[in-house]
Amino acid sequence: MNILDLIDKKEKRETLTKEELKYIIDNYLNGTIKDYQMSAFLTEVDLLGLTEEETINLTDIMLHSGEILDFGIDNLTDKHSTGGVGDKTTIVLAPLVASLNVKIAKMSGRGLGHTGGTIDKLESIKGFKTSMSLDEFKNQVDKIGVALVGQMGNLVLADKKIYALRDVTGTVDSIPLIASSIMSKKLASGAKNIVIDLKIGSGALVNNLEEAKELANLMVKIGKTNNKNIACVLTNMDEPLGYAVGNSVEVLEAIDTLKGKGPEDLTNLVIKLGAIMTSMALNITEETAIEKVKENIFNGKAYQKFKEWVKAQDGDINNIEIAKNKQIFTSKEEGYIKNINALEIGKLARKLGAGRLSKDDIIDLTVGIILKHKVGDYIKKGDVLATILYNEKQITEEELLSCFTFTKEKIEKPKLIIDIIK
């Protein structure tokens, strides 16, 4: 076997066997296959796709390229978001479902590009520890039902190397490569129940519905083939989720949501995702789970669990700092808000210092953008559109206003939950 013949085989649209795919991954990892050869292969895959069988096989090979975690805890539940702007869902969901005895052992990432990362957001809580030993992690899940840390262990080594190459060869948007990358990591994390929040829109990895459905179906198929309970929820990411975009500002909005005082879109999303996670983990109907989830938001148990979780990871809930300088931008137009461009808002938050351009950038956890309205709201000239919390770096009024478009026609609020694939 050699890489040139395999690239050729793919070019002729023939199906690669599992052995052939394993040859490619193993030899790329050990350095026999060079970056330029792997790039050629990834480009073929990006252009021609992979069959479902090839994708399932590739996922399995990637999964076995590193450590596979087993926490020895039955029925663990995990949630993954493909990333968006203002996405603080995990910070609400994890304690919410843990307050219903659903066990959550989760690894999250840092922000890169225009999207934020849960680990950065949690670190805006003074003292919050985002790394611990595997034993500490297990003990915390056993004791309080929830633990969340940055990436640990040497999971899916193939993804680390291949993702870095995809990033610089324009092959990040291949559906089978995304499916195998996400699912190999989810499978390696050891959860029995997996819920994926697949964002669609300007601020998301995928921005058309057809591709999102294809990706969702593939991930669900891979999950089921691996004997997991899995659901993929397709959600709108054309406008930011909630109102706050940044780090500490998002944690504060997550806390409001846990107290039942959060934005409507975020609240509805956590109720739906929380109900799916709870129904899978406790083997109850989704209708019953929805009632339980709502009850624990409104009776304070979810917030109680959040406090317990933050304390267990050494965070001081009374010490979440936001930048002192404020700038308020108002509308120059009148009409219904037609669009608030999530991608551009994410980039502006990054410009303020809330996000990274490259992975070694140091970010300012205290800055951010707090939007005042959602798509479909009616605005008069002079109404506040956003408050900017800043330190050294600022954005201009023009930059902020260019994220908004208006219409004279009354428009429907966009549907947040577009589809659920199980």
Residues in contact with ligand URA by CB under 6 A are: 82, 177-178, 181-182, 205
Whether 265 sits among the annotated catalytic residues: the reply is: no
Q: How far does Cα 337 stand from its chain's mean position?
A: 26
Phi, psi of 50 (to 5 degrees): -130, 155
172: which DSSP letter?
T
Structure tokens at 101: 């005895």
**Which element (helix H / strand E) includes 387?**
strand 384-390
Minimal distance, residue 210 CB to ligand URA, in Å: 18
CA–CA dist 339, 414 (Å, integer) = 10
d(CA 51, CA 370): 44
User: Is 70 among the catalytic positions?
Assistant: no
Name 281's Cβ contacts closer than 8 Å, sequence gap at least 6.
75, 77, 97, 102, 103, 192, 193
The secondary element (H helix, E strand) that includes residue 381 is: none
Nearest Cα residue to 294 out of 251, 260, 338, 329: 260
Q: Known catalytic residue: 373?
A: no
Q: Which of 166, 199, 228, 356 is catalytic?
A: 166
What tokens were used for 130?
A: 């985002």
Shortest Cβ 55–ligand URA spacing (Å): 12
Q: Which of 80, 106, 114, 272 is catalytic?
A: 80
Q: Does 199 participate in catalysis according to the annotation? A: no
Q: Shortest Cβ distance from residue 134 to ligand URA (Å)?
A: 21
- For 240, phi then psi, to 5°, come to -60, 155
In contact, 402 and 337? CB cutoff 8 Å: no
Of the pair 82, 366, the CB lying nearest ligand URA is at 82
> Residue 393 catalytic?
no
Question: Between 181 and 189, whose beta carbon lies closer to ligand URA?
Answer: 181
Q: Nearest distance from residue 182's CB to ligand URA, in Å?
A: 5
Nearer to ligand URA, 77 or 82 (CB): 82
Residue 178 CB, shortest distance to ligand URA, in Å, is: 4
CB-CB contact of 157 with 65 (8 Å): yes
Instruction: Decide if 44 contacts 50 (C-beta within 8 A).
Output: no
Give the shortest CB-231-to-ligand URA separation in angstroms. Answer: 18
Q: Which of 60, 87, 120, 159 is catalytic?
A: 159
Kindly state the smallest distance separating residue 115's Cβ from ligand URA, in Å: 10
Residue nearest ligand URA (C-beta atom): 181
And the tokens for 256? 């409001």
Amino acid code (one letter) for 103: K
| Whether 60 contacts 92, CB under 8 Å | no
Task: Give whichever of 63 and 275 is closer to ligand URA, judged by the CB atom.
Answer: 63
DSSP E strand boundaries for 290-330: 325-330
Residues forming the active site: 80, 159, 166, 181, 185
